[in-house]
Amino acid sequence: MTSQITTTNPATEEQIESYDLMTNDQATAAVQACHDAFLQWRTKTTDERAEVIRAIGKQLRADKDEFAKLMTTEVGKLIGDSKQEIELCASICDFTAENGPKELADEERDIPGGKGVISYAPVGVIYGIQPWNFPCYQAVRYTIANLMAGNGVLLKHAENCTGSGLFLKRVFETAGLPKDLFTVLVIDHDQSDKVIENKLVRGVTMTGSDGAGRIIGAKAAENLKKTVLELGSNDAYIVLDDADLDVAVEACVQGRIYNNGQTCVNAKRFIVTEKHYDAFVDAYVEKMGGIEMGDPSDENTKLGPMARDDLRDKLAKQVDESVEKGARALVGGKVPDRTGAYYPATVLVDVKPGQPAYDDELFGPVASIIKAKDDEDAMRIANDSRYGLGGGIFCKDEARARKLASEQFDTGMVSINGYNIAIPNMPFGGVKDSGYGREHGGFGMKEFVNAKSIYVME
């Protein structure tokens, strides 16, 4: 077993930093310290917690340039995307500080012979296991909601963005968050299982693949711990007969390459009716073919490297297997001969069931275009997936698009005539193999609380 984590710049393949793994005793002591901090934090009023969370948002903005540079160095994000991510996290703090006290306020209801009170009480230490694609946002998304609720928070971040997790801890404490209330655990997978088993840990939240979600969900269930799981997806964006083709093409390009194509809610499958198929393919291939790879720290770069060599190699293998099974790459599709974990913007057509490009999540800048007979067939294909996180509809008839989104699209989120990732005042989460539970929009604040019934008899 290695005793260190070493981070590497995926654009240059140069080592960045090394970090010592915690011993088992150190990890156990860190959980205890977080619990001890929670015992004090839970006594704070929601307004007092909100004040600290508002200060965290201000501190994130103050440290934006330094933090963005670190994220880009660790995972290859475009520098503009890194700055945008931190601004999103600051706005999450703003939203939570503004709305948290109202969301968590006691509720009163009439009961026979008295008054019923519903109190949202914090439960304790919440353990988050998070991936590398949004080093700040993935951690902030569950942390800020749980701090607002009065809980303590543990973070096991992905190894390749260890520095970002520790930077975030510094931001929180500089802003006034009590020491140890947000604790970064530098541990391995075996140690992580022990954290889940720890009696002081009251809930587990995880973002990652559906395979990892099954393992972590099972371990948590074995210990009777509630979970929120935000897992992978293969989001379908459907172009219906009455779509505005120019709008659809532009949004579908943006939706596929955002964050170098490494986002759970990237647009990944593009299902186009026969009416638009040929024109869509021509326009889409032209735009994707014009996207050049480059240095992610350069503001003008449109596509940076993937976060690690092994992730790039997995994507390349999925593309190769899809082509072997009948798909065609109209642009891209080959690993470039250059330093760094780069993969080009790629467009696959003739995508069918049985190919990774149809069945699985391609976590990188690879688009799968699928022809549908008509609108009904397009919706059928969109739902023909084990995943259900996000999706999109392009249709000039807004009322019809809303009806399809609410009644037929089997996903947690649907964009109409555009592409969105996450907005603080809207719930975020999926169905089917994309997991369960919701974050944002006030929902995340109540995932790990005790909705306590208090009966006041008169």
Which residue in the list 89, 93, 136, 264 is annotated as catalytic? 264
Q: Annotated catalytic, 89? A: no
Which residue in the list 230, 361, 439, 447 is annotated as catalytic? 230
Q: Confirm if 306 and 332 have CB atoms less than 8 A apart.
A: no
Q: Confirm if 78 and 69 have CB atoms less than 8 A apart.
A: no
Residues 437 and 443: their CA atoms lie apart, in Å, by 9
Q: Count CB-CB contacts under 10 A for residue 305.
A: 27
Q: What is the dihedral sign for C-alpha 434, 437, 440, 441?
A: positive
Running DSSP on this structure, what letter comes out for residue 143?
A: H
Those residues with Cβ within 8 angstroms of residue 207's Cβ, 6 or more apart along the chain or in another chain:
129, 130, 131, 138, 141, 229, 230, 231, 264
β-pairing, 4-8 with 125-129? unpaired
Name beta bridge partners: 450: 121
Q: Annotated catalytic, 264? A: yes
Residues 30 and 10: their CA atoms lie apart, in Å, by 31
Half-sphere exposure (CA, 13 Å, Cβ side) for 174? Answer: 14
* Angle formed by the axes of helices 162-174 and 137-149, nearest 10°: 40
Distances (CA, A) of 408 to 155, 273, 339, 379, 405: 36, 17, 45, 8, 6
Collapsing DSSP states into helix, strand and coil, what is residue 250? Answer: helix
- Token representation of residue 363: 């976590």
Q: Confirm if 433 and 387 have CB atoms less than 8 A apart.
A: yes
What secondary structure does DSSP assign to 270-309, as a single string? EEEEHHHHHHHHHHHHHHHHT--B--TTSTT-SB---S-H
> Which residues are marked as active site?
230, 264
